[in-house]
């Protein structure tokens, strides 16, 4: 259950502080300062400002493997509606200069708190292991490809190259459970921003305009056929229109429409085919509407498929099975959500192991599963109602990181 503030542990209080003070991508200034302070207090060598707001702590205890533990820091432009006593009321300025509500609607606060808790244990037991531990706190996973930005900013000229990259993501599975899917584990994502141009005018004289509302509406509906009619039954792809903005008042026909489109895929051939179809349909609908200016396309975050190294994953999951027991392990399958953690591993030439951490109340999840109402009753990541139960989620996340790190670090000389 989620703890009340009056009976919380120091780590739970840290988590609630992070939850109440979320920051948008590349604006994680308070968050990164707090993390840097914590890392310095633990005795790590700390480098700040990598990729803007990225923070990395390094601790070496002797010869041995170099192990990276990664957590992401950014939040989302979502207005929280969880009813929690530590709900976020924060606001921020998004990339368009708009004042928006901000919420940790994807659980990155759990990721940060769990990693800081794991570091406390690993530092306290440093006499028992040998090697180099890297704790990387990444900005802008949600919007901006912060992993690659850190790499491009010289990450691996500032810290050692890791031999393995480890991380976790809280997800609406039962709290206390965890597991990784070997091979392709999370989808590639291509986020596409589209501008469609019409000709504005008075709402009473639509015949003098080229209405971008009708143009955009026709486009949205036609895009629903991409997966249904251009992707095979054995292939996987998702096309979602997450934003549509046209006009400002009822009696003015606007000049343009803006669409935000998210494309997910696991196969490069499917990925290319879907992107081509989306661009083709947008262009064709603009022509069908009589637009005299072709649409503009700009891509935001573009992450590759997240691939868990099969051998490294099995080694890590074996350590989890020994520590947690078989009953708490599960295979989440390949998820259509996307992640950029793989860029940290590929840039280092290191295997990646990225596992799912259950965060839903086990009793509520079991009841919803029994009733067949998981989709409606269990809030998912990016929902304004999404809030992992604090425990046992946080304790499991801490222990998982410790177990995984100790599996890959060397043993101290006796």
Contacts of 64 (CB under 8 A, 6+ apart): 129, 130, 131, 132, 409, 410
Of the pLDDT bands very low, low, confident and very high (cuts 50, 70, 90), residue 6 is low
- 325-367 residue pLDDT tens: 999 999 999 999 999 999 999 999 999 999 999 999 999 999 9
What pLDDT is attached to residue 38? 98
Average pLDDT score over residue span 173-188: 97
What pLDDT is attached to residue 411? 87
Rounded-to-integer distance, Cα 398 and Cα 176, Å? 11
| C-beta neighbour count of 335 within 10 angstroms | 17
Max distance between CA atoms of the chain, in angstroms, equals: 86
Rounded-to-integer distance, Cα 396 and Cα 111, Å? 11
What pLDDT is attached to residue 366? 96
- 13-43 residue pLDDT tens: 999 999 999 999 999 999 999 999 999 999 9
What pLDDT is attached to residue 343? 97
- 72-120 residue pLDDT tens: 999 999 999 999 999 999 999 998 899 999 999 999 999 999 999 999 9
Peptide bond into 392 cis (omega under 30): yes
| pLDDT beyond 80 at 408 | yes
| pLDDT beyond 70 at 413 | no
Q: Tokens 């959500």 label which residue?
A: 337
Instruction: Name the binding residues.
Output: 106, 108, 142, 169
Strand locations in 200-305, DSSP E?
Answer: 201-202, 237-246, 252-253, 256-265, 296-303
What pLDDT is attached to residue 3? 54
What pLDDT is attached to residue 300? 86
| C-beta neighbour count of 337 within 10 angstroms | 18
pTM value is: 0.91
Rounded-to-integer distance, Cα 18 and Cα 201, Å? 47
Q: CA of 47: how far to CAs of 40, 141, 413, in Å?
A: 10, 19, 29
> What are the chain's domains?
5-186+305-411 (3.40.630.10), 188-302 (3.30.70.360)
Rounded-to-integer distance, Cα 331 and Cα 86, Å? 32
Please report, rounded to a whole number, the percentage of residues in the chain having pLDDT higher than 90: 95
Q: 224: which 2 tokens?
A: 């629903």
Query: What is the pLDDT of the chain when averaged over all its residues?
Result: 96
| pLDDT beyond 70 at 393 | yes
- 221-271 residue pLDDT tens: 999 999 999 999 999 999 999 999 999 999 999 999 999 999 999 999 999
Rounded-to-integer distance, Cα 148 and Cα 166, Å? 16
Q: How far is C-alpha 53 from the chain's CA centre?
A: 16
297: which strand partners?
Answer: 194
Instruction: Name the binding residues for Mn(2+).
Output: 106, 108, 142, 169
What pLDDT is attached to residue 95? 86
What pLDDT is attached to residue 143? 85
The residue among 39, 42, 35 whose CA lies nearest residue 18 is 35
Task: Name the residues annotated as catalytic.
Answer: 74, 141
What pLDDT is attached to residue 246? 96
The residue among 313, 325, 377, 20 whose CA lies nearest residue 172 is 377
């Amino acid at each position: 259950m989620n703890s009340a503030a009056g009976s919380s542990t120091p780590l739970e209080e840290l988590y609630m502080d992070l939850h109440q003070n979320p920051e948008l991508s590349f604006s994680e200034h308070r968050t990164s300062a707090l993390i840097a302070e914590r890392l310095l207090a633990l005795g790590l060598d700390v480098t700040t400002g990598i990729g803007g707001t990225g923070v990395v702590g390094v601790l070496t205890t002797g010869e041995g493997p170099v192990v990276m533990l990664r957590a992401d820091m950014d939040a989302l432009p979502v207005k929280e509606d969880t009813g929690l006593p530590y709900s976020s009321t924060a606001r921020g300025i998004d990339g368009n200069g708009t004042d928006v509500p901000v919420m940790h609607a994807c659980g990155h606060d759990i990721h940060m708190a769990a990693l800081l808790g794991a570091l406390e244990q690993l530092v306290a037991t440093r006499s028992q292991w040998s090697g180099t531990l890297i704790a990387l706190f990444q900005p802008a996973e949600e919007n901006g490809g912060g992993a690659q930005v850190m790499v491009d900013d010289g990450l691996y000229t500032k810290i050692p190259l890791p031999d393995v990259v480890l991380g976790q993501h809280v997800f609406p599975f039962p709290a206390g459970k965890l597991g990784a899917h070997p091979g392709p584990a999370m989808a590639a994502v291509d986020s596409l921003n589209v501008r469609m141009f019409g000709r504005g005018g008075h709402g009473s004289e639509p015949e003098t305009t080229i209405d971008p509302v009708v143009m955009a509406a026709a486009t949205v509906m036609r895009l629903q056929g991409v997966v249904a009619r251009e992707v095979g039954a054995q292939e996987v792809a998702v096309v979602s229109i997450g934003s549509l903005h046209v006009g400002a008042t009822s009696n003015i026909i606007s000049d343009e429409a803006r669409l935000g489109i998210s494309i997910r895929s696991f196969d490069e051939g499917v990925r290319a085919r879907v992107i081509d179809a989306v661009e083709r349909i947008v262009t064709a609908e603009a022509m069908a509407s009589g637009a005299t200016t072709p649409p503009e396309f700009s891509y935001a975050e573009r992450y590759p498929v997240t691939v868990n190294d099969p051998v490294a994953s099995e080694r890590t999951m074996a350590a989890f099975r020994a520590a947690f027991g078989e009953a708490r392990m599960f295979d989440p399958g390949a998820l259509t959500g996307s992640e950029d953690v793989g860029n940290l591993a590929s840039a280092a030439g290191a295997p990646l192991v990225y596992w799912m951490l259950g965060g839903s109340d086990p009793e509520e999840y079991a009841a919803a599963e029994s009733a067949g109402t998981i989709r409606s009753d269990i809030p998912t990541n990016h929902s304004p109602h999404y809030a992992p139960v604090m425990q046992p989620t946080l304790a499991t996340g801490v222990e998982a990181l410790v177990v995984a790190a100790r599996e890959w670090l060397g043993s101290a000389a006796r």
